[in-house]
Chains A and B, each alone.
Chain A
Amino acid sequence: MEHSQVTAKDYKVTNPVKWCAGCGNFSILSAIQDVLPETGIEKEKVVSVSGIGCSSRFPYYMNTYGFHSLHGRGSAIASGVKLANPKLSVWQVTGDGDSMAIGGNHFIHLIRRNININVVIFNNKIYGLTKGQYSPTTPKGSITKTSPEGTIENPFNPGELTMGAQGTFFARMVDTNPKMMKKVLKEAADHKGTSIVEVLQNCVIFSNKIHQEITGKDVRDDNQIFLEHGKPMLFGKEKEKGLILDNNRLKVVKIGENGITENDILIHDTKTDCPNVHFMLSRMTLPEFPVAMGVIRAYDCTVYESLLNDQIIKAKENSDIKNVDDLLNSGDVFEI
């Protein structure tokens, strides 16, 4: 098979990549280029779609069919691509401004429809390309170019929004962890339905170290929990901490304390239809909780384009109208 020979190199471009030195986008680009050969898809069937923003320059840096579109409209463009040809592997790359602000409406409707598109949100919690205004994910109180006294808006959490829109797949990952990114992206690619992957991405210029509390080498074991389907929700350097359900709320516990054993720890189930625990996991914030990483939800559900295709097949079978001549001569036709 030809596509088995595809390597990450096939997805690299020769033109220069023009992100700032040290930008988190580079590692995300590499991770996607590394994962694509593993999905078994032919390289000509991959399409990168984006909106506007630093992240959205992505298609120019991928050797695939690419479409750099309009601010916020990537989901709508990608939907059209996928519905026009469901055999394509469609990757939408977006940022926190592109997907959560101007494109918020398209984002939730894409998720609600569950079209099989992989959406990667580069979340640096700031507007980078327009140089430093606050975004819908900027933490409340942050001082930015347009919030000299601190923002007074409650930020969106992409995970919460995804669950609220009946998302079937949500994952979170960190731009400094290639291994984690590859694992998550592979699962996102394999999922049938809309896959939302939030990347905690660092903007070296306007929000440098915004995720440091979560991603810093010294704190990451305690401040992140990497979730895997079927495995207990453990974290900490020695996996000595875990999550339990207490009075319908998540709670951090220590193994060995208060009689807690590993058997008490919640087992992660990405595939359940009930999103309640996934919702709680996606909302966990410091300092009370570690921030959830990995695949939080991967529920198999009907996919829009398959349902559409089924309807078309059925309509064709059940109709006497086989072509346009039939259509024009159907119904009330008069002969004089």
Chain B
Amino acid sequence: MTKNIKVVELEDVVVKFAGDSGDGMQFSGTQFSDTSASLGNDLSTFPDFPSEIRAPQGTIAGVSGFTVHIGHKDVHTSGDQADVLVAMNPAALKANMKWVKDGATIIIDIDNFDNKHYKKAGYIEDPLHEGLLKGYNLIKPPITNLTRSTLKNSGLDNKTIDKTKNQFVVGILFWLFNRDLKRGEQFIKDKFKGKDDIIAANIKVLNEGYNYAETVEALNTTYFVNPAKKYKGKFRNITGNIATAWGLIAAAEKSKLPLFLGSYPITPASEILQELSHHKNLGVKTFQAEDEIAGVCSAIGASFAGNLAVTSTSGPGLALKSEAIGLAVMTELPIVVINVQRGGPSTGLPTKPEQSDLMQALYGRSGESPCIVIAATTPADCFNYAYEASKLALEHMTPVILLTDGLLANSSELWPIPKMADMPEIKPRFVKDNNENYQPYVRDEKTLARFWAIPGQKGLRHKIGGLEKENITGDVSNDPINHQEMVIIREEKVQRVARNLPDQIMDGEPSGDLLVIGWGGTYGALLSAVKDLQENDKKISLAQFNYIKPLPKNTEEILKNFKKIIVCELNLGQFANYLRSQFPKFEYMQYNKIQGLPFMIAELKNKFNEILEDI
């Protein structure tokens, strides 16, 4: 049978997979995005899983999602709204209808759309008969039954067979987006290596889904997303947490130091610990401590003993580490503290992103306790900033707090693979054995960093500790003048880091009507919104900050060239308040969202347009 099929070229498309936690939505989402990547599409993905491990099946609480945004044009976010929604049950449909574009294609497993499932999802009436889906392109294959009949002679039990249902959906999508089935099959072969019966079953169902789509009348249009132009050479798809872990390993290799991670599992940072624990092949030592405090303290001990020492956590864990970070400030030891921010306070929203730990990172310690605070802006960029955090810590002898968030941590994007030879040098502040001039608080004149004498080295025995020390000698000191001097030196040391930082860059003209300011993981959405408005000839620019303490040298210069400034962040205005404290002469408007959700491009554009109309 032949259909009359229309092929439409799209600039970009957003596909959202949603189903029960056990429906394999993360798997099929990754399969779809990896095959897109191999075709050269730009992409961004975002997994959205419930905080419960296996919430009751069929309920809203149990819905697990995975969004893939692919494009011929540059893709900066996982997309506001989906062009295609896969909903394996009514709960998945209900939870996601608000994230679907008008007229989108919705693929459901009709076998799960019955009264029993409606009740679990909280539908009072049958959503399919309510006209709720009017105006959408609804595809409703009996996926469960077709999968079971496809595999009825496979010898597999029903539970195993049902786990392959996601491949039916992927099959439909491969047809819909004109994908080569062989790439999908290869993905299955790689992921289930050694399990031949599982591979065969999944491949069979994948093909069945593809054939279904080819035959069914409701599908008469297929789509094509051309490769992005910007990619040439080798690249890979990478999430923020993996990029962070790898950035640390890279910094250790470049600085020729062993890497030590002392950490305690916490969502959404655990993956950094997990990933690093798999890299003993590169000499990485991971220490899963008994608590957050022991995590950071073991890192401080390792730093004292000469390793590149790191601890990773999320907001509540940072709170527990604050006393120890103060010790690292006092002892002027290099450590990297990674805070993958989540919704707070307290346990808050463990799986949801937020930017509400900025003040904690800047000021959340006893005493005058300055450290370097930096933030990564995209998933792949976590590699560079984990590397940079290590470099700054080692070269300036200070703790560095790197802020990422739950969105960056789990989202992925395409990443042109760097070469280690191209990464900047890292020069730890070593001191030679038997250096007679060595004293613990003798400092480098330019940076004010002290030197790093490591236990085992000859002729450099010394003591450090949390008590205030006399400058130069490092003897315990209660002298009032010395204390003030040391407090100022510690602050000045961090401020002087700005001398070596790159200038803050702008997306857009260096002057204009509206300056949008963001920091960290909101970059994708802010950039997309600002670029859209720039294309409509609006005088709007974006400054997305990576360096927060200290701020780049040209910050003030940037601020003064716009009629209005708006600071956009996923909190109640922490960076805005910080900028007010640093540059009080400017006026800062705010756009704040604190829902455990990233910014949507559309809401940002509305807000910016509103302001621009008033100018």
Tell me the complex Cα distance, A312–B279, Å.
9
CB distance from B428 to the nearest CB of A (A): 14
Residues of B within 8 A of A333 (CB): 234-236, 417
Say yes or no: is A105 at the interface (Cβ < 8 Å to chain B): yes
Residues of A within 8 A of B46 (CB): none
Residues of A within 8 A of B467 (CB): 68
Whether B290 contacts A336 by the Cβ 8 Å rule is no
Tell me the complex Cα distance, A105–B264, Å.
14
Say yes or no: is B455 at the interface (Cβ < 8 Å to chain A): yes
Pick from A85, A308, A328: contact of B418, CB under 8 Å: A328
Q: In the complex, which residue of chain A has the Cβ closest to the Cβ of B284?
A: A312
Whether A331 contacts B260 by the Cβ 8 Å rule is no
Q: Mark A67-102, 1 if CB is under 8 A from B, else 0.
A: 111100101111111111101100000000000000
Say yes or no: is A25 at the interface (Cβ < 8 Å to chain B): no
CB distance from A158 to the nearest CB of B (A): 18
Q: Say yes or no: A70-B327 contact (C-beta < 8 A), given A85-B456, A328-B417.
A: yes
Whether B38 contacts A77 by the Cβ 8 Å rule is no
CB distance from A336 to the nearest CB of B (A): 4
Whether B456 contacts A76 by the Cβ 8 Å rule is no
Whether A47 contacts B290 by the Cβ 8 Å rule is no
Whether A77 contacts B475 by the Cβ 8 Å rule is no
Say yes or no: is B6 at the interface (Cβ < 8 Å to chain A): no
Whether A76 contacts B298 by the Cβ 8 Å rule is yes
Tell me the complex Cα distance, A84–B252, Å.
13
Residues of A within 8 A of B463 (CB): 48, 59-60, 65-68
Whether B458 contacts A77 by the Cβ 8 Å rule is no
Whether B282 contacts A321 by the Cβ 8 Å rule is yes
Pick from A64, A83, A323: contact of B420, CB under 8 Å: A323
Whether B307 contacts A318 by the Cβ 8 Å rule is no
Q: In the complex, which residue of chain B has the Cβ closest to the Cβ of A85?
A: B305
For window 273-322 of B, CB contacts with A under 8 Å fall at: 279-283, 285, 287, 289-291, 293-294, 297-307, 309
Say yes or no: is A332 at the interface (Cβ < 8 Å to chain B): yes
Whether B236 contacts A84 by the Cβ 8 Å rule is no
CB distance from B271 to the nearest CB of A (A): 15
Q: Mark A214-238, 1 if CB is under 8 A from B, else 0.
A: 0000000000000000000000000
Say yes or no: is A179 at the interface (Cβ < 8 Å to chain B): no
Residues of B within 8 A of A331 (CB): 236
For window 190-223 of B, CB contacts with A under 8 Å fall at: 190
Say yes or no: is B332 at the interface (Cβ < 8 Å to chain A): no
CB distance from B500 to the nearest CB of A (A): 23
Residues of A within 8 A of B246 (CB): 324, 327-328
Say yes or no: is A316 at the interface (Cβ < 8 Å to chain B): yes
Pick from A45, A49, A105, A323: contact of B456, CB under 8 Å: A45
Q: Say yes or no: A80-B260 contact (C-beta < 8 A), given A312-B280, A323-B282.
A: yes
Whether B306 contacts A87 by the Cβ 8 Å rule is no
CB distance from B525 to the nearest CB of A (A): 26
Pick from B258, B280, B302, B418: contact of A81, CB under 8 Å: B302
Say yes or no: is B250 at the interface (Cβ < 8 Å to chain A): yes
Tell me the complex Cα distance, A30–B324, Å.
30
Whether A44 contacts B297 by the Cβ 8 Å rule is no
Tell me the complex Cα distance, A70–B294, Å.
11
Whether B455 contacts A81 by the Cβ 8 Å rule is yes
Q: In the complex, which residue of chain A has the Cβ closest to the Cβ of B417?
A: A328
Whether B305 contacts A66 by the Cβ 8 Å rule is no
Whether B297 contacts A76 by the Cβ 8 Å rule is yes
Q: In the complex, which residue of chain A has the Cβ closest to the Cβ of B455?
A: A65
Whether A79 contacts B287 by the Cβ 8 Å rule is yes
Say yes or no: is B37 at the interface (Cβ < 8 Å to chain A): yes
Whether A312 contacts B285 by the Cβ 8 Å rule is yes
For window 219-251 of B, CB contacts with A under 8 Å fall at: 227, 231-237, 246, 249-250
Whether B455 contacts A323 by the Cβ 8 Å rule is no
Whether B235 contacts A70 by the Cβ 8 Å rule is no
For window 422-476 of B, CB contacts with A under 8 Å fall at: 455-467, 475-476
Q: In the complex, which residue of chain A has the Cβ closest to the Cβ of B462?
A: A65
Whether A84 contacts B302 by the Cβ 8 Å rule is yes
Most buried by A among B34, B287, B323: B287
Residues of B within 8 A of A257 (CB): none
Say yes or no: is B102 at the interface (Cβ < 8 Å to chain A): no
Say yes or no: is B262 at the interface (Cβ < 8 Å to chain A): yes
Q: Say yes or no: A76-B234 contact (C-beta < 8 A), given A47-B305, A70-B324, A84-B309.
A: no
Say yes or no: is A186 at the interface (Cβ < 8 Å to chain B): no
Whether B249 contacts A68 by the Cβ 8 Å rule is no
Tell me the complex Cα distance, A85–B306, Å.
8
Residues of B within 8 A of A87 (CB): 456
Most buried by B among A44, A52, A75: A44
Q: In the complex, which residue of chain B has the Cβ closest to the Cβ of A65?
A: B455
Whether A81 contacts B281 by the Cβ 8 Å rule is no
CB distance from B566 to the nearest CB of A (A): 37
Whether A73 contacts B293 by the Cβ 8 Å rule is yes
Q: Say yes or no: A83-B456 contact (C-beta < 8 A), given A68-B465, A324-B250, A324-B420.
A: no
Say yes or no: is A211 at the interface (Cβ < 8 Å to chain B): no
Whether A88 contacts B455 by the Cβ 8 Å rule is yes
Residues of B within 8 A of A106 (CB): 290, 293-294, 297
Say yes or no: is A176 at the interface (Cβ < 8 Å to chain B): no
Whether B231 contacts A65 by the Cβ 8 Å rule is no
Whether A332 contacts B236 by the Cβ 8 Å rule is yes
Q: In the complex, which residue of chain A has the Cβ closest to the Cβ of B295?
A: A76
Say yes or no: is B19 at the interface (Cβ < 8 Å to chain A): no
Say yes or no: is A276 at the interface (Cβ < 8 Å to chain B): no
Say yes or no: is B253 at the interface (Cβ < 8 Å to chain A): yes
Most buried by B among A81, A311, A318, A336: A336
Tell me the complex Cα distance, A224–B262, Å.
42
CB distance from B417 to the nearest CB of A (A): 5
Whether A60 contacts B282 by the Cβ 8 Å rule is no
Whether A332 contacts B466 by the Cβ 8 Å rule is no
CB distance from B39 to the nearest CB of A (A): 8
Tell me the complex Cα distance, A84–B304, Å.
9
Pick from B253, B419, B464: contact of A66, CB under 8 Å: B464
Most buried by A among B232, B281, B419: B281
Q: Knowing that A68-B466, A70-B324, A80-B304 are A-B contacts, what are 14 other residue pairs whose CB atoms are under 8 Å apart, sorted by A's residue number?
A: A45-B456, A60-B476, A65-B304, A67-B331, A69-B297, A70-B297, A76-B298, A80-B303, A84-B260, A325-B420, A327-B279, A328-B418, A334-B234, A336-B233
User: Chain B interface (Cβ within 8 Å of chain A)?
Assistant: 34, 37-38, 40, 190, 227, 231-237, 246, 249-250, 253, 258, 260, 262, 279-283, 285, 287, 289-291, 293-294, 297-307, 309, 323-324, 327, 331, 417-420, 455-467, 475-476
Q: Name 26 interchain pairs, CB-CB below 8 A, sorted by A.
A: A44-B461, A45-B456, A48-B463, A65-B461, A66-B461, A66-B465, A67-B331, A67-B463, A69-B297, A69-B465, A69-B466, A76-B289, A76-B298, A79-B301, A80-B287, A80-B309, A81-B301, A83-B260, A84-B307, A308-B285, A312-B283, A315-B281, A321-B281, A325-B419, A329-B234, A332-B190
- Report, nearest first, the 9 A-B pairs whose CB atoms are least far apart: A80-B301, A68-B465, A319-B281, A76-B297, A80-B298, A66-B463, A315-B280, A84-B305, A84-B302
